[in-house]
Amino acid sequence: MADVIEVGAARGDAPPPAAGTARRGASGRRTGRLTPYLFLAPYLVLFGVFGLLPILLGVWLSVHQWDFQLPNRPFVGLDNYQELFSSDSAVYGDWWQSVRATAIFTVFSVPLLVVVPLGLALLLNRSFPGRTFFRAVYFAPYVLGVAVIGLLWRFLLDANLGLVNRLLGAVGLPSDTPWVTDVPWAWVSLVGVTVWWTSGFNAVIYLAGLQDIPAELYEAAKVDGASAWERFRHVTLPGLRPVLLFVITTTVLASANVFGQSFLITQGAPGTETRTVVWFIVEEGLRDNDAGRAAAMSIVFALMLAVVSIANFRLFRYRED
């Protein structure tokens, strides 16, 4: 054996590794493969407990008649789902009315929450005195909770005692507008308050995206004689495509899940015209004690939002040119 090692050494070959070294090398490779999962373990545990488990529990609840006040909760299969699409069921009309209200709010709020913050970001991205102050001012409303925003604007928009109607009357405009009790003014109030409240967040996201666009692209466009609109169209918008995808997706999901504004500002008025899906699900599950039906509504609504999100990703997906 020694002769073989000496001959191998003479030829320049490395000696064979010892058995212990080989085992340690295999163990090190296995540990290296497990390292990423060890780092992911805390997140996976939290996601499993607070994300995946509630989803599975919701699916299980949706196929049962789950009443908190009853000792037995019988299995009903897909009956809770069928009621949402059966015109002769007790919840059919209220369910689709809430879907309609949510769709109206989303359709009118999302374009404003995409365009207005972009305009603010373009202005705040310029250099001018007090830029940091104005950035803080536009973002400040977003740090307030929905309870504060809702109660504040409920009083401001009150048709009889609200400051908004008083100011309008002071300048000769109608001073009896029913901002929170009649349509379309209730929708104007909800959308307007939401845009004022949350535009600062999207503006900050846009600002981060604008600062990642190389200044050389704008300089080259100026040299080529591009106007301000052409620079915005051919430099700014393509550079913001990934940011636009994020902003539009998160804004659609946030608007579709609206609850606090309608609950506190319009209180669903007139009638149930501004009662949204999330509000109706809460009433069904907590007020009427039918958690099974509420869970079915939640899953159907989640599937609707998933379809909208997938369509959005396909429409605005980022391509490397």
Question: What is the number of other CB atoms lying within 10 angstroms of the CB of residue 59?
Answer: 13
3-state secondary structure of 75: strand
The reported pLDDT for the residue numbered 37 is 86
- For residue 115, how many other CB atoms are within 10 A of its CB? 13
Query: What is the predicted pLDDT for the residue at 7?
Result: 45
The answer on pLDDT for 4 being more than 70 is no
270 upstream amide cis, omega within 30 of 0: yes
> Predicted confidence band at 320 (pLDDT cuts at 50, 70, 90)?
very low
The model's pTM is: 0.84
Percentage, residues of the chain above pLDDT 90: 63
The 10 Å CB-count burial string (b at 16+, else e) for 230-249 is ebbeebbeebbeebbbebbb
Digit-coded pLDDT (tens) for 268-299: 889 899 999 999 999 999 888 899 999 999 99
Where does the pLDDT of residue 147 fall: very low under 50, low under 70, confident under 90, or very high at 90 and above?
Answer: very high
C-alpha closest to that of 205 among 312, 113, 133: 113
